[in-house]
Amino acid sequence: MKHLQLQPRLRLLADMVPQGARLADIGTDHGYLPVWLMQQGRIASAIAADIGPEPLDHARRTAAEYGAALDLRLCDGLRGIAAHEADTVVIAGMGGETIIQILTDSPWPRTSGCTLLLQPQTKVELLRLWLSRNGYACENERLVWDKGKLYVVVQMTAGEPFTPDEARLYGGLHLEGDPLYGDYLVAQLHRLRRRLDGLRHSREGEDCGTLPQLIAALEKKKEALK
Ligand SMILES: C[S@@+](CC[C@H](N)C(=O)[O-])C[C@H]1O[C@@H](n2cnc3c(N)ncnc32)[C@H](O)[C@@H]1O
């Protein structure tokens, strides 16, 4: 049997999928994640969903090439999947706002007690805020370097709604134990300092709001790692 190799970002996601899961991979594209998990015997079933017919065809070809049984669905987000069909939902490689839209349209992962594994390409702070306010609790967060880029995977399940402070939205809800936490703080501080410089040099002399305090809070977290 031919074996698939996963890039580090997808491998981290695969490692976070619970053994024996009934998986739904939303925005599956090539289908590598569900095919790899099926090949390894790690999951009981896999729905591979995508909004585009071409990505779904790609997933179909991957499944055929590697001899894995995937349940393919052409649908927007979770709209074509019923709550009883999956206990683990992966949404990876999309913008944070798209992930929020998908979970707004289909709130069942919270009510059914699903494990959500989310890997946003952008707006992770906004996603953390939305999830926390909408009754998801962070169980874990993990980091991985892949092709020179640092990615975060957020693991959520149903919890009580709350609003985290800004330092946790930017510094992570559950990242303190990750070996790459220092790298993450450096990257976030770099982004925030650039934003602050931009505001200070803007012609309008924009209000910097709470940005200086946020930077100071993340610097403190970084110092504490030494
Ligand atoms: C960059 S690929 C990510 C593929 C894979 N999940 C990964 O992380 O490597 C994004 C995929 O999400 C799909 N997509 C975007 N919006 C979607 C939506 N609302 N519902 C389902 N699929 C979506 C796109 O068609 C595309 O195939």
Question: Which pLDDT tens digit goes with each residue over 90-110?
Answer: 999 999 999 999 999 999 999
Each residue of 10-52: pLDDT tens digit?
A: 999 999 999 999 999 999 999 999 999 999 999 999 999 999 9
Residue 102 in contact with ligand 1 by CB distance below 6 A: yes
180 Cα: distance to centroid of ligand 1 (angstroms): 26
Confidence band of 226 (pLDDT split at 50, 70, 90): confident
pTM: 0.97
Residue 99 in contact with ligand 1 by CB distance below 6 A: no
* Ligand 1 site-directed mutation target among 35, 94, 122, most atoms within 8 Å of CB: 94
Query: φ, ψ for residue 192 (rounded to 5)?
Result: -70, -35
Contact criterion met (CB below 8 Å) for 30 and 61: no
Q: Is 114 helix (H, G, I), strand (E, B) or coil?
A: coil
